[in-house]
Structure 1
């Protein structure tokens, strides 16, 4: 399966803090930028942080229960290879990132078993990173 990169633009109320977070904590390569927005290579996809006043979702995330955890909504992220997911979890821990949901294996022994972790960027945008040992389970019921 060949996928095209997605483009996602998100609001950030502190452009400098968000820019540092995505560049330093994640180690993302910066692309074009202006005084009000910055492009990043987000695991092969285009993530753009746009300066914007704080949104209600950034002030207090809504959550839905999934596998015994309160999952923040909305959220975004990437499905990584298992070893990349493990390496990212270690990298985030090395920066003392506070996880909303610590890295763990969700749906263990069930259809759709996956590694997952949730965190917020400095502006309250929720991110999820997940991995499947069997990628064919991505859309399995």
Structure 2
């Protein structure tokens, strides 16, 4: 089944800072914009950052324990091919990104083994990027 691009609009309380983060740190191509929002090509999907007052989840993230780490909730991201994930992890590291959960392989040797990393954007939105060497493990139990 071919996947369709998703559309996700998120709140940012500092549009200029978030625009720099997604455009320069991540290197995402910018699409349409206005004085209150900007859309980006988010690995083939449409991410729109909308200027909005700070939200409760941006103030203090809730976490759930997963494989010995405190995973921020809510969060979003993309499952990338392994080599693309490695390039992204390197790009973010080279730009001094502060990770919430450092790039690593989780569930090593188990069902669902995956590379993952977590970070916050400058406005407190949590992101996760992951990869599977065997994409068939994405929904494995």
- TM class, shorter-length: over 0.9
2:97 counterpart SS class = coil
CA distance in 2 between partners of 1:106 and 1:90 (Å): 18
Superposition CA RMSD, Å:
0.4
In the alignment, does 2:77 pair up with 1:77? Answer: yes
- Other-structure match for 1:52: 52
- Other-structure match for 1:136: 136
- Other-structure match for 1:115: 115
Gapped regions of structure 2 (runs ≥ 5): none
Shift of 1:32: 0.3
1:136 counterpart SS class = helix
- Other-structure match for 1:86: 86
CA distance in 1 between partners of 2:3 and 2:80 (Å): 13
Equivalenced residues, count: 141
User: For 1:15-73, what per-residue CA distance to the aligned partner results, in whole angstroms no more than 9, with x for missing partners?
Assistant: 00000000000000000000000000000000000000000100000000000000000
CA distance in 2 between partners of 1:65 and 1:47 (Å): 27
TM-score using structure 1 length: 0.99
Shift of 1:133: 0.2
2:5 counterpart SS class = coil
Shift of 1:75: 0.1
TM-score using structure 2 length: 0.99
Shift of 1:102: 0.1
